[in-house]
């Protein structure tokens, strides 16, 4: 996974960096769209309802933003065709960014909160609402990238210190554990079983190591190999 670099302001340079008001509104529309398509639990119904109302209430503002962004891309490209391709390429990056699986839980949580707020009281300034909302979504992605970067550092340090003796910490797969929740005890109590989605060969023993799917309603955190002797 490519991790966005950190800028001089201490924030990572992502698809949400350096946007003007039109770009902010459009990316906000995009992240709400992604949430409406991917947050499908019963408690997420308000996300779709809020998104539909947002589109209806702000049809004119969204049309203006779309037209202005088209103008910007045409000004930066030699032909209309190239402008369309450039904008489509960027929007593909935007949707892929917001659909990042490890941030799904936070995406849906933020979208539920935002949708509830919108449905309760229509914002007086949609551009301000979009700016605040997009920053809230972006914060979850920034936190994930920082945590994942630290995980890679920790994993590399473990490999450097113990890899020769115990093997690499990540031989082609990632073990996960729930970041929160009632844990193993509750799973045993309700007779739930983990779902195996595949297997990999251990490079040293040849044993088949199962790959277990992490439930979407839990925050799955990478597991770094334990340090022998608690050192």
Measured CA to CA, the distance from residue 112 to residue 51 in angstroms comes to 10
pTM above 0.75, yes or no: no
pLDDT given for residue 157 in this prediction = 86
More confident residue, 31 or 11: 31
Measured CA to CA, the distance from residue 63 to residue 69 in angstroms comes to 10
Kindly report the average pLDDT of the chain as a whole number.
81
**Would you list the DSSP string of the chain?**
-PPPPB-TTSSB--TTTT--HHHHHHHHHHHHHHHHHH--SGGGHHHHHHHHHHHHHTHHHHHHHHHHHHHHHHHHSSSHHHHHHHHHHHHHHHHHHHT-GGGHHHHHHHHHHHHHHHHHS--S-HHHHHHHHHHHHHHHHHHHHHHHHHHHHHHHHHHHHHHHHH--S-SS---EEESSSS-HHHHHHTT--PPEEEEEE-TTT-PEEEEEPPPTTS-EEE-PPPPGGG-
pLDDT given for residue 156 in this prediction = 85
pLDDT given for residue 102 in this prediction = 93
Mean pLDDT of 120-134: 97
pLDDT given for residue 196 in this prediction = 52
Lowest average pLDDT, out of 12-21, 92-101, 156-165, goes to 156-165
Mean pLDDT of 168-177: 53
Mean pLDDT of 106-131: 97
pLDDT given for residue 170 in this prediction = 61
pLDDT given for residue 53 in this prediction = 97
């Amino acid at each position: 996974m490519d991790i966005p670099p950190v800028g001089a302001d201490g924030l990572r340079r992502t698809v949400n960096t350096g946007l003007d008001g039109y770009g902010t509104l459009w990316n906000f529309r995009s992240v709400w769209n992604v949430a409406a398509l991917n947050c499908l639990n019963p408690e997420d119904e308000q996300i779709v309802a809020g998104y539909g109302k947002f589109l209806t209430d702000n049809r004119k503002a969204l049309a203006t933003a779309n037209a202005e962004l088209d103008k910007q891309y045409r000004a930066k490209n030699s032909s209309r065709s190239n402008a369309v391709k450039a904008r489509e390429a960027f929007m593909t990056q935007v949707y892929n960014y917001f659909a990042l699986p490890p941030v799904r839980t936070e995406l849906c949580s933020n979208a539920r909160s935002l949708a509830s707020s919108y449905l309760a009281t229509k914002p007086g300034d949609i551009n301000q609402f979009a700016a605040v909302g997009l920053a809230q979504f972006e914060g979850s992605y920034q936190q994930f990238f920082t945590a994942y970067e630290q995980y890679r550092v920790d994993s590399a340090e473990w490999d450097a210190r113990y890899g020769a003796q115990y093997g690499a910490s990540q031989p082609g797969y990632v073990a996960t554990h729930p970041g929160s929740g009632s844990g193993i005890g509750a799973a045993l109590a309700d007779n739930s079983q983990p779902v195996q989605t595949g297997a990999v060969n251990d490079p040293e023993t040849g044993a088949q190591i199962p790959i277990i799917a992490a439930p979407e309603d839990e925050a799955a955190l990478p597991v770094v190999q334990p340090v022998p002797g608690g050192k």
